Amino acid sequence: MKATIVTIGDEILIGQIVDTNSGFIAKSLDKIGVEINEMISISDDKEHILDTLAALQNKVDLVIITGGLGPTKDDITKKTFCDYFEDELIVDKAVEKHVIELIERVMNRPASQINKDQALVPSKCTVLHNLLGTAPGLWMKKENTVFISLPGVPYEMKYIVENEIIPKVVEQYKRPFIIHKTILTYGQGESVVAERIEDWENNLPECLKLAYLPAPGRVRLRISARGTDKDKLEATILENVNSLDAIIHDIIVGFDEDQTIEIAVGKLLTKQNKTIATAESCTGGKIAMLLSTAAGASSYFAGSVVSYSTQAKIDVLGIPESLISEYSVVSGEVASAMALSIKMRMNTDYAIATTGNAGPTKGDSDAEIGTVFIAIATPSEVIVEEFNFGQPREKVIDRAVIKSLELVQKEILKNVQ
């Protein structure tokens, strides 16, 4: 079973907003065995939309479209659907009732006519209820293809996909099983990982496919299987993941798409009933942001100080000015002092500190651009390492963040009971 995802909106084509809807829809369909044939973005133009619908007719089983269902004049998807299906708009009483109640409850005002017009839908469509907004989804079939139109607002789109589309597709279509297993590795680049697992990769069964998904400081390895025997596919994946783990166990931090290193660190801290804080300079609070992302992070993450300037390190963290003068603000000695200071001030078991020259200029230090010192304060000592992450600036920051989490994870693991 194949699908195409279409996003409608000039704001996407000119880069004003980023299309996140397609990724969510693709992942949701993949989980139930629907293969994504392509993703395309088109303009808010009637003829362009009609041409796209015609081109996709009978080419795929599902066409899922987002955008253009709002109440304003530039939202033309519903009317264009009517033209394509030779249909007309009618008032759906259930949608109208929902719209009126939603506007009165949330906006605390009477629903206007433009609000009520959201209840206009093609007479031949199956309405997909939108509990979170006023624009319903539309499900229409022509010959061998189902065309589904969804609102572009992400949280509304997600609700309809999860509660309306996925159940209907599962009920109405027979699909193969598509199974993915993601192995998260940190600390080695794509080429190094590929070299280490070359023999293993060459001996993978034909039903398995391996993909490398590199990012600064980490590489995700995705193993995919497709077929009709779910139990056999899962057993084959498990067997090969276990053999892979035996080869690169030292760099694997998890086996789940959502098991990022910050989540892994949080789970380790929770299990050990330990806490952590950060003092960040060149990373600008990004480590703290990641550590605080997970639900329940308050049980292990105490807080952070972003001492970006030299004076902030002196005034807020209490780093001696003489230390900075002697060793430079970008130095292992200053990183160590920052880690000890935040650990003491936040009364935590562990602390991370970063100081460096991310570029493009050197700032308050003569250290080479790309240089970063990372300090990890543990219950018994402080470990400091120096890195040069090169350029550009974004790469330096991202790699420093990931490397900091990688280092603290290793230290926590040393104390696992």
Report domain extents, the chain.
2-172, 183-254, 261-414
**Nearest alpha-carbon partner for 119 in 69, 44, 49, 161:** 69
Pairing of strands 218-227, 177-186: antiparallel
pLDDT at 106: 85
Residue 86: pLDDT above 90? yes
Beta bridge partners of 305: 279
pLDDT at 164: 96
Higher pLDDT, 74 or 192: 192
What is the CATH topology of the domain spanning 2-172? Molybdenum Cofactor Biosythetic Enzyme; Chain A (3.40.980)
Confidence band for 156, pLDDT divided at 50, 70 and 90? very high
pLDDT at 72: 66
Pairing of strands 218-227, 208-215: antiparallel
- In CATH terms, 261-414 corresponds, of 3.30.2310.20, 3.30.43.10, 3.20.20.105, 3.90.950.20, to 3.90.950.20
* Cβ(291)–Cβ(317) below 8 Å: no
Torsion sign over Cα 51, 52, 56, 57: negative
Q: Which of 198-207, 323-332, 353-362 has the lowest mean pLDDT?
A: 353-362
Confidence band for 417, pLDDT divided at 50, 70 and 90? low
Residue recorded with tokens 């999860």: 162
**Nearest alpha-carbon partner for 241 in 250, 252, 231:** 252
Q: Give the predicted TM-score (pTM) of the model.
A: 0.65
**Nearest alpha-carbon partner for 189 in 389, 414, 391:** 389
pLDDT at 73: 66
- The maximal CA–CA distance of the chain, rounded, in angstroms, is 80
Q: In the predicted model, what is the mean pLDDT of residues 165-171?
A: 95
- In CATH terms, 183-254 corresponds, of 3.30.1380, 3.40.720, 1.10.150, 3.30.70, to 3.30.70
189-225: buried (b, 16+ CB within 10 Å) or exposed (e) per residue? eeeebbebbeeeeeebeeebebeeeeebbbbbbebbb
Q: In the predicted model, what is the mean pLDDT of residues 238-253?
A: 93
Residue recorded with tokens 């994946």: 237
Total count of residues recorded for the chain: 417
Query: Which pLDDT tens digit goes with each residue over 1-54?
Result: 899 999 998 888 888 888 999 999 999 999 899 999 999 999 988 999 999 999
Query: Which pLDDT tens digit goes with each residue over 257-299?
Result: 667 889 989 999 999 999 999 999 999 999 999 999 888 999 9
Task: Give the distance, in angstroms, between the CA of residue 111 and the centroid of all CA atoms in the same chain.
Answer: 36
CB-based contacts of 111: which residues, under 8 Å, 6+ apart? 99, 100, 103, 104
